[in-house]
Chain A
Amino acid sequence: MSTRYFGAPIPRNEDRRLLSGQALFVDDVELPGLLHAAFLRSSIAHARIRRIDVTTARKRAGVVAIYTAADLGDYWRPGPLLVPPPPIAGLMFNQRTQVPLAKDKIRHVGEPLAIVLAENRYLAEDALADIEVEVEPLPAVVDLENALSESAARVHGDVAGNIAARAHQRKGDYAAAAAKADHVIRRRFRYDRGASNPIETRGIVASWDARAGHLTVWDTTQAPVFLRNGLAGMLGLSERQVRVIAPFVGGAFGPKIMLFYPEEVVLPWVAIKLNRPVKWIEDRLEHFFATTQERGQIHDAEMALTRDGKILGVKDTFLHDTGAYDPYGLTVPINSQCTLLGPYVVPNYESSFTAVFTNKPAVTPYRGAGRQHGVFVIERLLDIAARELGIDRAEIRRRNFIPPEAFPYNNEIIYQDFAPLEYDSGNYGPVLDKALDMLGYERFVTEEQRRLRAEGRHVGVGIVCYVEGTGIGPYEGAKIQVQANGKVSLVTGIGTQGQGHYTSFAQIVADRLGVDVRDVDVVTGDTDQFYWGAGTFASRGAVVAGNAVNAAATVVREKILRLAAEHFECAEEDLVLADGAVAIAGVPGKSIRLGELALKANPMRGAVRPGTEPGLEATQYFGPPRGATANGVHAMIVELDPDTFVLTINKYVVVHDCGTVINPLILAGQVHGGVAQGIGNAFYEQLVFDDQAQLLNASLADYLLPTALDVPRVELGHTVTPSPLNPLGIKGAGEAGAIPVGPLFAQAIEDALGLPAQGVELLEIPLSPNRLWELVMKGR
């Protein structure tokens, strides 16, 4: 097979539509008779509902209907558990999932109480003010540690101590290892909450065709197939009666995989009940309350080492804030627990966590999905160890790397995909070497930093390593068909939110079938076109769907060759596929266009041989045995203003190994975007809740997303260690940019300001100029 496209930096097929304003996003859907929804949301975090009176609101002109939980009848029920807890011995889990509209109790600010349907959004919002709500406020559960106390209020009345889950995993014997250690380090680490804030918020349009008995839902979801199946079940329809379309989606980053959001449950029901199409578009204020968030952990961790910096073991006990509900099971804390082990040999590990209910929006995965916290803990422990043992920070990491000959490397604990945490492949040393080299580490620490410091400048360096579990199962599928016009159609069940699937998947097909990459027409996220698969999450699109695409393209190629060989009465080996045609090699004039061959594969009259399938078409599925483990190193040089603590990044390097690369341009974009989100998380973004669980900064003016002035140019390097777990050798890359930025900032800032010498350690994320000032003042 020629590989003209695979591995090449091809600009994207989808760009033209997006650049000219022709791409369809959910809010662009306009239908005759469209109604607009607005939700009345709770302004308090924790309360018992006494009364909701909508009589006045209903009378307002332009209002068509208003519903509360009471109106939903039997349709009202808590959402499904999306990810059951993995089979970890002794695990305890209290399932409490979100409800469509709050009925008896309110559990976080922004929880929906009623839906207003009106002729336009302005009128619907007007009517919200007319709804009378009487509640009995309850004390809010905010702080993780207080939540566990006997006297704390209960988010769920029947859950004592607000404990959502407890899990314990271990390998080896930490206590024995620590007893023999030369050095043990103990610290407490905090990682606070942030919000994904895609520039497009969530949105839904639902339309019911009563004559056809058919529901169409446009949704900003990352999991259209699962949404369709779930909606059909809830509404008592068969799957065929429901079509979910995830059109162009304006960024997702995890929270758009969550389902069922209350709005997703209520809108289709309303569309059927009123027999009118309905639209709801989340506004930015709602996004801060109504879309799930992530992070919020407190770790008490310790590391036992030998005098020369070899890790003997790690023990970690942490609290995880799951918010008011836990529909996503334990994916986030288990990712934290597993990713903490990083690229290192940790012979003895003991980790337990308690997931805690609080009166804050539910926590589900957001880019990184808990991996950040684990990376933060191990990387900070290594920084402290390096300092206390007098070892260079890069050197201590290198000494602990899993050696290349040790793969596959089994970490002996259970990962989020229910499989043992086993790294498929990796070669960590060269990644670190390359990063140090690109950063100019040696020269910086031995010369430049000294010189600049002598000039009174506060410059520092950071280097962190990480692994990223990617490309988990269960499976994805793809259907490929050669069209009569010679174009190739490719459909898959995953949704796409900017990852370039229209191009990377097309590259795979174009090479297999010998067509121009622009002639591969990709459709994703429309369940009428393809209705199997799990969705876009865990950096798995390229790995899992990509390999399904490859498998389907391989079968179509075989069909093309077989049919063309019959047509020309030649051997398949004599044929070549190129330029959208099949030809006999070296025989001029013996060539047939693929479109023409597709027509021959679908005869209108005559007989076919038994077993013949029509068309040049194939559907194939791929499911990896377990996830593929990517890895990388981030390194940077920063300068801080010692008075204002304003930070400037002078150099930022990422070296990354995600196996075989389909499209380096798209990969670079994924890493850049991840780094930007990581920087936001590390230094700009923090959801600030007060002691009543009121969010104090719910706007983009107060919750600071990094701008073009805050994100530096990223210098990118690659190494390639293919994954043995899939035929294309791919590992995922979607989250790599975001994962290790927190510890990188902490390390580099400590270095720049010489904080350890002042008795100050940075053991929390996010940091900010304000927070640095507080910490430094406390140290003085």
Chain B
Amino acid sequence: MDTERCTVVVSVNGVRYEREVEPRLLLSDFIRHELRLAGTHVGCEHGVCGACTVLFDAEPVRSCLMFAAQANGHEIMTVEGLAPAADRLHPLQEAMHAAHGLQCGYCTPGILMTLVAFLKDNPRPDEAQIRAAISGNLCRCTGYQHIVDAVMRSVA
């Protein structure tokens, strides 16, 4: 077996991790199975569904389209890092709950991470902008309407 390994030092949700990994290990698998932060989901592994979206140096990226090695020296935030405290949710999480913006919840972490970054740049979006913002995230359950409602509620 080719056992070439590389070192990845990365900060995830403010915690520093250091691991030896195979160069081909996907960032999504690294986050989920090496760091055991399983809130980041994987739906397609070809960059279309958006379920694996995390913040990479505060920008949303699809972690299935990156190697863990590329994260060396960078800062990542996953859905586990959103809530301000163990007993409190982020306002967007609260709004998703109130508006029934999730059903199976599988797409939800990716949608949250996409929207958190979007809302930072667009604090007062209209419905069309919200729809465009999540148009790269597939949800098979909700028909998107309650997700849109949740975002509008969170910025109202």
Contact = CB atoms under 8 A, between A and B. Distances in A.
A700 B42 CA distance: 13
A499 B100 CA distance: 11
Given A15-B102, A669-B103, A250 B41 contact: yes
A672 interface: yes
Interface in A698-756: 699-701, 705, 707-709, 711, 713-714, 737
A714 B47 CA distance: 29
A299 to B, nearest CB: 28
Contacts of B136: 707
Contact of A250 (B25, B46, B105): B105
A675 B49 CA distance: 19
A248 interface: yes
A246 interface: no
Contacts of A253: 140
Nearest to B108: A18
Contacts, number: 180
Contacts of B19: none
Q: How large is the interface on B (under 10, 10 to 19, 20 to 34, 35 or more residues)?
A: 35 or more
B27 interface: no
A21 B104 contact: no
A200 B135 CA distance: 18
Contact of A708 (B39, B106, B112, B144): B144
B106 A25 contact: yes
B156 interface: no
Given A25-B41, A284-B44, A499-B103, A251 B93 contact: no
B80 interface: yes
Given A198-B104, A199-B106, A20 B80 contact: yes
Interface stretch (B29-37, B68-76, B116-124): B29-37
Given A23-B105, A199-B106, A707-B138, A699 B46 contact: yes
B37 to A, nearest CB: 7
B32 A19 contact: no
Nearest to A24: B38
Given A20-B82, A284-B46, A699-B46, A250 B104 contact: yes
Contacts of A673: 103, 140-143
A12 interface: yes
Given A251-B140, A708-B134, A711-B144, A498 B44 contact: no
A711 B145 contact: yes
B58 interface: no
A21 B78 contact: yes
Interface string A497-521: 1111000000000000000000000
B96 interface: yes
Nearest to A702: B48
B39 A62 contact: no
B43 A701 contact: no
A139 to B, nearest CB: 32
B109 interface: yes
Contact of A15 (B51, B97, B141, B147): B97
A158 interface: no
Contact of A199 (B37, B51, B98, B135): B51
B39 to A, nearest CB: 2
B40 interface: yes
A708 B80 contact: no
The binding surface of chain A is classed by DSSP as loop
A632 to B, nearest CB: 15
A250 B136 CA distance: 18
Residue among B96, B109, B132, B140 with the highest chain A CB neighbour number at 10 A:
B140
Residue among B102, B106, B141 with the highest chain A CB neighbour number at 10 A:
B141
B109 A284 contact: no
Interface in B82-135: 82-83, 89, 93, 96-98, 100, 102-109, 112, 130-132, 134-135
B24 interface: yes
A27 B52 CA distance: 13
Interface string A197-223: 111110000000000000000000000
A676 interface: yes
Interface in A22-67: 22-25, 27-28, 30, 60-62
B110 to A, nearest CB: 9
A609 interface: no
B139 interface: yes
A18 B105 contact: yes
Nearest to A497: B104
B15 interface: no
A700 B109 CA distance: 19
A665 B146 CA distance: 9
A19 B116 CA distance: 13
Nearest to B148: A708
A675 B143 contact: yes
Given A11-B97, A248-B105, A676-B143, A16 B46 contact: no
Interface string B5-36: 00000000000000000101100010011001
20 contacts: A16-B97, A18-B108, A20-B89, A21-B40, A22-B80, A24-B38, A25-B38, A27-B38, A250-B104, A498-B105, A498-B141, A666-B100, A672-B143, A672-B146, A700-B46, A700-B138, A708-B135, A708-B147, A711-B145, A714-B143
Q: Which 5 A-B pairs have the closest CB atoms?
A: A21-B39, A250-B106, A18-B105, A498-B104, A672-B143
Given A60-B1, A199-B51, 4 more contacts: A20-B39, A251-B141, A676-B144, A708-B130
